Amino acid sequence: MKASAFVYPWDVNGDPRAAATIAATGVQQVTLASAYHSTRALTPRHPRHRIVTAEHAAVLYPTDDRWQGRELRPYPAGDWAPGDAFGEAAAALTDAGLEVHTWVVLAHNSRLGAEHPDTSVVNAYGDRYPWAPCIAQPATRAYLVDLAAEAAVRPGAHGTELESLGWYGLQHLHAHDKTGGVGLGDAGLYLMALCFCPACREGYGARGVDAGELAAGVRAALEPVWRGAPSDGGWAGVEKLLGASIAAATRAWRDDTARTLQEAAVTAVRDAAPAGFRILLHADPVSYHVGANAGVDPAHILSVADGVVVPCAGGPGLLAPFAEVSGGSVIAANFTVVSGMGGSPGTLASDAARARALGATELRLYHAGLASDADLEAVGSALAGL
């Protein structure tokens, strides 16, 4: 199975050994960040630093003139990834014999929400989620589509993986996060993800749902949960809380909004890319799920993109719905191989075998730059046996 490791430019730039170290694991490809959200990251082997603090979401290359005069535009990186950090790292990785694909984070940008609060998802209580741009808003959609095309098609890249190309909700690891005190469950998290910005209020109305009544219904449905009552899981739980017809209307609005954005972004990337350029989405096979792995309809997304990257940290079960309708598409199983982050590089060989049995065609390994030497050695041993 072809394997690709996720990498940040700052893992490579300034470390003359980094590209060779990654290549020595046996991966054939790297998925290198070109547009990324804020983070604090470990660099356990770098000769100049051990911690990199990316203070805000940024592009890791110089932008072109498409952004001139536009209010919503990508932010340049600071000293954690100056200049064409992506291009520098891509050249070193290519010289080491690795095929480079871009890693593009889209609808996840806390600085955008802080500086342009009207772009953010607004929940039923009026709280804004600054990390979550509302993908229903026309200006935000235009920004995301152009960002996808520019950040994906970088010189030297053979393909791209688009993350967060869909709705974001409450689930977000924030600085000193304190949101886990009440177990909202799958249904409660859906209700807390519903957006009530003007664009979404209009969207609900077009489907026969009064946004004010819906917001009041969400608040009423969640009140027992805040007091400690369990939240039913799955879509049946959402229908129980909102009523089946209203739940269906909200999902129809959100699903259509996400699908059309995904179609537009993939089309923009294809138009900008050379022949043979491969486009994958980080995806979850349950369309109402939110987050970095966008909820999608498997058949639809595999008719649009060349494949998907599927989270498998909790096991490979999410692969099956995509494999059932793959038609030869790429189904990449994404495993965490950083033991300090809950990964299990020592079981990668058996994990890969299980994933292949469920339809995986490739592996994604999170994350070569964050992993210890021992983790990378275990990865190398596992890949050598595949």
Place of tokens 């007091």: 227
Please provide the average confidence, as pLDDT, over all residues in the chain: 96
Could you give the C-alpha distances from 221 to 115, 125, 246, in angstroms and in order? Answer: 32, 12, 13
User: Which residues partner with 121 through β-bridges?
Assistant: 129
DSSP 13: T
26 and 52 Cβ atoms separated by less than 8 Å: no
pLDDT in tens, 124-169: 999 999 999 999 999 999 999 999 999 999 999 999 999 999 999 9
Q: Tell whether the model's pLDDT for residue 85 goes beyond 90.
A: yes
Strands 29-36 and 58-59: antiparallel
Dihedrals phi, psi of 285, to nearest 5 degrees:
-75, 5
- How far apart (Å, rounded) are the C-alpha atoms in residues 38 and 201? 29
- How far apart (Å, rounded) are the C-alpha atoms in residues 345 and 313? 11
Q: Between these two residues, 15 and 233, which has the higher pLDDT value? A: 15
72 and 9 Cβ atoms separated by less than 8 Å: no
Q: Tell whether the model's pLDDT for residue 183 goes beyond 80.
A: no
Q: Tell whether the model's pLDDT for residue 176 goes beyond 80.
A: no
Q: How confident is the model at residue 98 (pLDDT cuts 50, 70, 90)?
A: very high
- How far apart (Å, rounded) are the C-alpha atoms in residues 34 and 81? 10
Residue 182 has a pLDDT of 72
Number of H helices, E strands in the chain: 14, 14
- How far apart (Å, rounded) are the C-alpha atoms in residues 33 and 31? 7
Q: Tell whether the model's pLDDT for residue 224 goes beyond 80.
A: yes
DSSP 233: P
DSSP 286: S
pLDDT in tens, 330-347: 999 999 999 999 999 999
Chain CA centroid to CA 309, Å: 9
Chain CA centroid to CA 42, Å: 20
Dihedrals phi, psi of 364, to nearest 5 degrees:
-120, 135
Residue 25 has a pLDDT of 98
Q: Tell whether the model's pLDDT for residue 179 goes beyond 70.
A: no
